[in-house]
Amino acid sequence: MKSFDLKKCTVCPRECRADRTKSVGICGEGQEMRIAKIMLHRWEEPCISGTDPKRGSGAVFFSGCPLHCVYCQNRDISSGGVGSVYTPKDLAEVFKRLEEDGAYNVNLVTPTHFTAGIIEALDIYRPGIPVVFNTSGYEKEDTLEALSGYADIFLTDLKYGGADTAKKYSAAPDYPEVALSAVKKMIGIAGKPRFDENGMMTGGVIVRLLVLPGQRRDAENALRSLRELVDCEDIILSLMSQYTPDFAPRDMGALCRRTTTFEYEYVRSVALELGFSGFGQDRQSAKSSYTPDFI
């Protein structure tokens, strides 16, 4: 098993080498796991959240994030300092409670910088429901490899198709190549999409692509690069239109407006042309009210 040296942290592609036993890394977090919210989440993809109003995906929102997208809708937790400390034993109890509450799965949201603690928690208690690793896509292959045997489903973003866009919005020009390599690794770990008799996902990879305003060509490039890398049946594509400008800086041009129907439908047509299948969103999803309240 991979060991994680938090005294010179390299768990994510930033490789900040911070001593997280004494201070914080670029993710904004030290060695103690912090969690901002635990909930039955009913607004993920249907095969993750289901349709039963009394159930949902057992979402665990971890504090901090190494990517720092300028338009982040979860910035209260990604950089706002919200959250409480949980030990691996505490987290194992969370898994058990979510399972008892009827969660379809345990959904670990923005978990990368706490991978070591998550694995320790899963060694204490492995739930009898799927474990979802819900990530920005900015992942190192060896960190993902450590999740083999722990993560059943990868719910990953593919945010950008080009280095310039990734640099402008996330200060990560290497994002496209890193994220594509991560998708390939995730497929190797989780396999092709699998479902139970009720249509709930039990294993595999979902790739999310949020269509950003002014970036339909970049999104097209992302899809074409993805198609060169994987067969369509290797993944489920989730094409998202929920971008809202509420969280973007006022000097970011197109990010200060919503994605147009034309932009979204253009990217959707590319996805269909390339043979991808999966999920789309209607225009009503582009509301800040769909963002969980972390305060």
Give whole-number Cα distances, 176 to 14, 166, 223, in Å.
14, 7, 11
pLDDT value, residue 235? 98
Q: CA 221 from chain center: how many Å?
A: 20
pLDDT value, residue 244? 92
Mean pLDDT, rounded, for 241-266: 92
Instruction: Enter the pTM of the model.
Output: 0.94
What percent of the chain clears pLDDT 90, i.e. is strictly above it? Answer: 88
Mean pLDDT, rounded, for 47-70: 96
Mean pLDDT, rounded, for 64-78: 90
Work out the pLDDT band at 286, boundaries 50, 70, 90: very low
Hey, is 40 helix, strand or coil? strand
Backbone φ and ψ of 134, nearest 5°: -105, 105
- pLDDT beyond 60 at 290: no
Hey, is 217 helix, strand or coil? helix
SS (H, E, C) 12-56: CCCCCCCCCCCCCCCCCCCCCEEEEEEEEECCCCHHHHCCCCCCE
Q: Which residue has the tokens 């239109």?
A: 241
pLDDT value, residue 251? 85
Cα(140)–Cα(132) distance, rounded to whole angstroms?
17
pLDDT value, residue 252? 85
Mean pLDDT, rounded, for 99-105: 98
In this structure, of 162-171, 229-238, 284-293, the range with the lowest mean pLDDT score is: 284-293
pLDDT in tens, 72-88: 988 888 877 789 999 99
Beta bridge partners of 195: 201
Work out the pLDDT band at 283, boundaries 50, 70, 90: low
pLDDT value, residue 289? 42
Mean pLDDT, rounded, for 285-295: 42
What percent of the chain clears pLDDT 70, i.e. is strictly above it? Answer: 95
pLDDT value, residue 284? 54
pLDDT value, residue 292? 43
pLDDT in tens, 180-209: 999 999 999 999 999 999 999 999 999 999
b/e 53-75 (16+ beta carbons within 10 angstroms → b)? eebbbbbbbbbbbbbbbebbbbb
Between the two ends of the chain, the Cα-to-Cα distance in Å is: 36
Mean pLDDT, rounded, for 106-130: 98
Cα(5)–Cα(116) distance, rounded to whole angstroms?
9
Mean pLDDT, rounded, for 121-127: 98
In this structure, of 135-139, 219-223, 278-282, the range with the lowest mean pLDDT score is: 278-282
pLDDT in tens, 164-185: 999 999 999 999 999 999 999 9
